[in-house]
Amino acid sequence: MRSNDFSAGPPQARAEAFFLGMNRYRSPAAMLRQVRRWSAVARALKRHPGYLWHRSYLELPDGIGLMVAFADRDSLLAFARTPEHHEIMKWLVGGGAKAPARGGFIRILGAEEWGYTNGEFRAEDGRTELIEAFTPLSDEEVGGAGAETGDSGTAGPGADGPRTAGPAAGRPAPTAGLSTAAPAGSALPSLRAWAERRLRTRTAGEHGRPGAGGRPSDGQPGDSGRPRAGDRPGDDRQPERGRE
């Protein structure tokens, strides 16, 4: 289910900035020398303010990569200035054509506000459930159907918040309210079923007497501004029939 509270998750779930990188080495001997030098860097990394989690990965035949989670972007950038990081980078690429690394990359990734949590990692209520609708793509107004409903791309009544609309910085804004299911005991009819019931209500109301304020009782709001029976999804009552 969608969430913006990751306080109950593991350290990497709480990260706001991620370091992702990899180097390709000129020889197996160079890779071995990197492994030997890494322990000093790892100790400094674990002591660094804002460090949360890291994993190294191997890409055979000649690649070693690193993923590091930080509490914020400044913590990540500050670690790049430490003596330990400067020393290993100087060794890796400072020797020109004789440097141990023949290529490398670094990406700095920022976390979006909204993500997904379930079960023991869900701070709000510990529930484990499916989402009702997917986050809209950049060319969509409404996301596709989620596994919970399977028949509608829109959030039904009972979703716990409005969707944040509009792209930001070239990307669609995070979706804030399409995720959680309705409160226990409530029914969420699909919008298709609701539309069909609305159409039947309108047809039946054509022969009814005008409602308060001179408007037909076809599901339009009366003087009170509240919809009549049958005008709301999930309301199975029939509209009031007109008198003969």
Is it the case that residue 66 has pLDDT exceeding 70? yes
Q: Note the pLDDT of residue 201.
A: 65
Q: Note the pLDDT of residue 27.
A: 96
For residues 115 and 2, is the Cβ–Cβ distance under 8 A? yes
Lowest mean pLDDT, pick from 77-81, 96-100, 240-244: 240-244
Q: Under 8 Å CB-to-CB from 63, ≥6 apart: which residues?
A: 22, 23, 24, 25
Q: What is the DSSP letter of 210?
A: B
Higher pLDDT, 63 or 232: 63
Same-domain check for residues 175 and 155: yes
Same-domain check for residues 33 and 154: no
Q: How far is residue 225's CA from residue 222's CA, in Å, rounded to a whole number? A: 6
Q: How far is residue 148's CA from residue 188's CA, in Å, rounded to a whole number? A: 11
Domain end position, chosen among 94, 110, 126: 110
Question: What does the mean pLDDT of the chain come to?
Answer: 76
Domain end position, chosen among 140, 159, 188: 188
Residue burial 181-213, b: 16+ Cβ < 10 Å; e: rest = beeeeeebbbbeebeebbeebbebbeeeeebee
Same-domain check for residues 24 and 102: yes
Same-domain check for residues 212 and 229: yes
Q: How many domains does the chain have?
A: 3
Express each pLDDT in 171-208 by its tens digit: 444 443 333 333 333 344 455 565 566 666 666 655 55
Same-domain check for residues 106 and 142: no
Same-domain check for residues 101 and 163: no
Please name every residue paired with 25 in a beta bridge, in sequence order, or none if there are none: 101
Q: At what angle do helices 83-93 and 28-47 cross, to 10 degrees?
A: 160
Same-domain check for residues 58 and 123: no
Same-domain check for residues 197 and 122: no
CATH number, residue 34:
3.30.70.100
Is it the case that residue 159 has pLDDT exceeding 80? no
Structure tokens belonging to residue 59: 């890409």
Higher pLDDT, 32 or 217: 32
Q: Note the pLDDT of residue 64.
A: 98
Confidence class of residue 128 from pLDDT cuts 50, 70 and 90?
very high
Q: How far is residue 217's CA from residue 229's CA, in Å, rounded to a whole number? A: 10
Q: How far is residue 175's CA from residue 233's CA, in Å, rounded to a whole number? A: 23
Same-domain check for residues 82 and 149: no
Same-domain check for residues 124 and 180: yes
pTM, two decimal places:
0.60
| Domain range for 59 | 17-110
- Cis status of the peptide bond prior to 61, with omega within 30 of 0: yes
Same-domain check for residues 79 and 50: yes
Same-domain check for residues 126 and 157: yes
For residues 131 and 160, is the Cβ–Cβ distance under 8 A? no
Express each pLDDT in 107-122 by its tens digit: 999 999 999 999 999 9
To 10 degrees, the CA torsion angle through 75, 81, 85, 88?
Answer: 160
Domain end position, chosen among 159, 188, 217: 188
To 10 degrees, the CA torsion angle through 183, 184, 185, 191?
Answer: 50
Q: Note the pLDDT of residue 225.
A: 47
